[in-house]
Structure 1
């Protein structure tokens, strides 16, 4: 029973692992089992407190459990089995030219997850990164296929990595007295986000305004607008899509934005993000 091994705090739905105690239990209870067999089966996703109360490890907790064991057992690698060949550069349901990616750097996967791609959760990556343990994502339908290897080395010549987030809302906060939106007002906004357990997917500052792109969760968007109205004039635009392209190419971006109006755009040498709205005549 993995609850005899994985020791956690009492944050029951998103428990934090006590690595020191868990490591001791792995040495005492798991390592000896490998003298009897080269296969040891256990559960993922759950742990237990010092009082033996069951806890869960939060989002992607099963993958995370495997990464914890890989770290503590100094594994050669970790393999996650899925119903696809490996990681793709885009969701093939949304982008017909999606490509399989042979290999990725740990940090690239974390970037993809941050922008909304349904890939490996960063908390799974961290225990592997700490010991440079490669992670393979392979298909249980076609187990002989190569899959994707995620490792600690630099990977060159990646295809554009495309991430869509639908059902976005743009919350525009304009200073009521035309004062600059500096650290004080920005801190107020982030305090509101924290109080609502809500996070912006994209923010952009101007002299007297702050733009926040958020998941369109109606109750939270309404609460955000209400609280922010103490300091700002607030307007909300809904039915938007956020598009993120890493390692972008001009022609790819143009094809992805054809038929949309670009409401907001941010760009760095590696990443471009745009908030899109359907054109009225579409």
Structure 2
């Protein structure tokens, strides 16, 4: 049993879906659970639908949604003949689910509507891929992961109920393999006990694949990407990014913690618990070995560079010039917990504290307002957070040339700098 995960770039058009089929053909006698993300930029497009709906722009939301529908219908027409009509029946059910919501008025928080709308991307992409695989003679079973993954109602970053989900995996997923070697399902999404769709956080499809591997005792997980493996920096930003052939779990967790997008922050732990290796494979050339991530030590790594744009610096100063001690820090962490804010960098001094977080305008404003009861608050936006693992002076100097450093934190292994 292996778990494969294909990202949005791997199913962004009909040619990519055909290539996915060619990869699956190379594993004719294997049991595969295949987790698939939304096609291409579909999640971004559905986010715009959710934003328009929540802003009360119903007609704009419906028009944006129509474009998403047409895109997927066009892809299906290129790929399918005998399985086209059954797919349309499935599509119509999905479309109705969202359009019914779009004709209503928002009465709940934005995050709730975000999840009800954005989850459609994965449902559409997996339906197309499953139908195409059946079309070319690769028998498979499609399953709605919302029937399997039970979560809480923390919309946009839901936590999985592992006990209930394991029961569902045993009852629903495992029996499917008695009829077929291949099961196709969605990443990124789940469902509450009240049958409301949830999402697991951006890039949560990796996490979905890891959870399935853990619960199915898979021999490995392969994440298929548009690079030849894990790189020491984003190749879209750094033309000289270096390929890394192997990493250990701890290093990848560190990379994820600092914001590297190659592996979702929650992905590694389920694999580490059962010592399941993770392969990052090249979608364009399946013959390449890719990167293997395991539990063994790995030495002599190059500098690993992570850049996070759109950062906000909150400068908090005690109003009475008292020291920042346990109680103010406890209060601040309680505020962040209530708003589901994860700090990227914190630095404390005698009477002031500096806090770097992602620029989520609704959450930034609420945190600044809540903190103003205890602190004088200043907010600075438009910053970039640079993190370098296994740094050297040459790399630091090259990446900070001409930049103004607002905040710096350094340990023997990692340096972080918040820059303008």
Q: TM-score range by the shorter chain?
A: 0.7 to 0.9
User: In the TM superposition, what is the alpha-carbon distance from 1:106 to its structure 2 partner?
Assistant: 1.4
Specify which of 369, 394, 411 is matched with residue 268 of structure 1: 411
Do the aligned partners of residues 147 and 200 (structure 1) sit closer, same or farther apart at CA in structure 2, a change above 3 Å counting? same
User: In the TM superposition, what is the alpha-carbon distance from 1:193 to its structure 2 partner?
Assistant: 2.3
Q: Please state if 1:241 is matched with 2:384.
A: yes
Determine if contact 1:16/1:57 at 8 Å carries over to the other structure.
no
Separation in structure 1 between the aligned mates of residue 337 and residue 164 of structure 2, nearest angstrom: 31
Do the aligned partners of residues 48 and 185 (structure 1) sit closer, same or farther apart at CA in structure 2, a change above 3 Å counting? closer
Do the aligned partners of residues 108 and 175 (structure 1) sit closer, same or farther apart at CA in structure 2, a change above 3 Å counting? same
Q: Please state if 1:148 is matched with 2:325.
A: no
Specify which of 137, 161, 175 is matched with residue 304 of structure 2: 161
Farther off after superposition, 136-145 or 215-224: 215-224
Separation in structure 1 between the aligned mates of residue 416 and residue 304 of structure 2, nearest angstrom: 12
SS of 1:41's equivalent?
strand
Instruction: Flag structure 2 segments of 5+ consecutive residues without an equivalent.
Output: 1-142
Specify which of 339, 343, 348 is matched with residue 196 of structure 1: 339
Separation in structure 1 between the aligned mates of residue 306 and residue 256 of structure 2, nearest angstrom: 9
Separation in structure 2 between the aligned mates of residue 50 and residue 169 of structure 1, nearest angstrom: 35
Q: Please state if 1:64 is matched with 2:233.
A: no
Farther off after superposition, 193-202 or 134-143: 193-202
Separation in structure 2 between the aligned mates of residue 238 and residue 23 of structure 1, nearest angstrom: 43
RMSD (Å), alpha carbons: 2.5
Q: Deviations over 1:62-114 (max 9, x none)?
A: 33332222222222211111111111111122223211111111121121121
| Partner in structure 1 of residue 260 of structure 2 | 117
Separation in structure 1 between the aligned mates of residue 182 and residue 265 of structure 2, nearest angstrom: 27
Aligned residues: 276
| Partner in structure 2 of residue 280 of structure 1 | none
Determine if contact 2:145/2:185 at 8 Å carries over to the other structure.
no
Q: Equivalences for 1:58-137 in 2 at 5 Å?
A: 58-59=200-201, 60-137=203-280
Q: Deviations over 1:236-258 (max 9, x none)?
A: 33332111001101111111111
Farther off after superposition, 266-275 or 226-235: 226-235
SS of 1:260's equivalent?
coil
User: In the TM superposition, what is the alpha-carbon distance from 1:166 to its structure 2 partner?
Assistant: 1.7
The structure with more helix, counted as a fraction of residues: 2
| Partner in structure 2 of residue 181 of structure 1 | 324
TM value normalised by structure 2? 0.60
Farther off after superposition, 58-67 or 257-266: 58-67
Instruction: Flag structure 1 segments of 5+ consecutive residues without an equivalent.
Output: 278-282
Do the aligned partners of residues 27 and 186 (structure 1) sit closer, same or farther apart at CA in structure 2, a change above 3 Å counting? closer
Do the aligned partners of residues 192 and 89 (structure 1) sit closer, same or farther apart at CA in structure 2, a change above 3 Å counting? same
